[in-house]
Amino acid sequence: MTDCIFCKIINGEIPSYTVYEDDVVKAFLDISQATPGHTLVIPKKHVPNIYEYDADFASQVFARIPKIARAIRKFNPDIKGMNIVNNNGEIAYQSVFHSHFHLIPRYSDQDGFSMHFADHTDQYDDAKYESIAHAIKEQVED
Ligand code: 5GP
Ligand code: ZN
């Protein structure tokens, strides 16, 4: 994709601070550094989002993530945890439409990163869970 910022990073038109690279993925520091060491892992092939991954592509890309996560964890002994985040669609905070995974090392509960999961347990009963699970299950393709 000629107008894709991450494709430009892959082909060297835009510089980046690379932390890992092979024939399948490139990992480089996110310019925003939500926390120190915040890294993006991107497939070298342009795919806009997770829905475009087939099983083989997913196994190739996902297989690279743990070793990059371990390297980030090792670079600073103050790292206590890591959030791995993949945004799909504008509503889900995706701003670059070349699929990517954020590896965000966590240092403390005040390190500048947070996620909020609302708890709506009190609005659900057995029938409602069952109906949603069933509707999704029906859509699963081979
Ligand atoms: P998204 O919001 O799509 O999940 O994440 C896109 C990320 O790309 C953002 O965190 C943003 O900081 C990062 N980003 C955007 N442009 C550049 C760039 O030119 N270089 C680097 N290293 N990161 C970028
Ligand atoms: Zn791209």
Say if ligand 1 is within 6 A of residue 94 CB.
yes
Residue 49's pLDDT band, with cuts at 50, 70 and 90, is: very high
Q: Which CATH superfamily is domain 5-116 in?
A: HIT-like (3.30.428.10)
Residue 59's pLDDT band, with cuts at 50, 70 and 90, is: very high
Q: Could you count the other beta carbons within 10 Å of the beta carbon of residue 18?
A: 12
Could you tell me if 89 and 115 are in contact, meaning their C-beta atoms sit under 8 angstroms apart?
no
Q: Does 2 score more than 90 pLDDT?
A: no
Which residues, other chains included, contact 131 with Cβ-Cβ below 8 Å and sequence gap of 6+? none
Task: Say what the pTM is.
Answer: 0.97
Catalytic, 102? Answer no
For a mutational test of ligand 1's pocket, the pick from 95, 100, 101, 115, i.e. the residue with the most ligand atoms closer than 8 A to its C-beta, is 95
Q: Which residue has a Cα nearest atom 17 of ligand 1?
A: 31
